[in-house]
Structure 1
Amino acid sequence: MTTDIDAALRRLASEEHPGLATIDGTVMARIHERRHSEAAFGAPLMVMAALGAIALGVTAGMLPAAPAAAASLSPFGPSNPLAPSTLLASDR
């Protein structure tokens, strides 16, 4: 099945459709309606999300945090976790 796209486009361009004269206005009206409906729904949702984020941040900031303590890695200490003897004996 072969289709000559150029011929099909020429036929489409030569035909006059009654709805083509008003298509711009219709498209712009639908875009305006969609933006208006999304704006009416989106603004309260964004305010609620912002307030929730602020409340979460304040709550997390008020919780006491435990201070971090690093383990001692002295090379001559008895409990050196990186010593070869402890690494080899770990799987037993």
Structure 2
Amino acid sequence: METEIDAALRRLVATDHPALDGMEDAVLAGLRARREARTGIRMAAIAGIGAVVLGAVAAGPGTSPASAAAPFGGAASLAPSTLLLAER
């Protein structure tokens, strides 16, 4: 026994909706656009990290602090008076 509903459902199954034809292409285009957007963000992040690392390497570990000169201390071997006495 076949009713009108069965016949209508068979006709509905047999026909494709026109909007379904372009849906696959639209989904794949959206995925490509998202992937390209993420690639741009990833490249910017890598460039930023590289800049920080390059700056840290260029700054170096730093120099040791300069030692204070003792003008009146015992280590005055280059004082003019000691140089004059060494020649005699």
TM-score range for the pair, normalised by the shorter chain length = 0.3 to 0.5
Q: Which has the higher Rg, Structure 1 or Structure 2?
A: 2
TM-score normalized with structure 1 length: 0.38
TM-score normalized with structure 2 length: 0.39
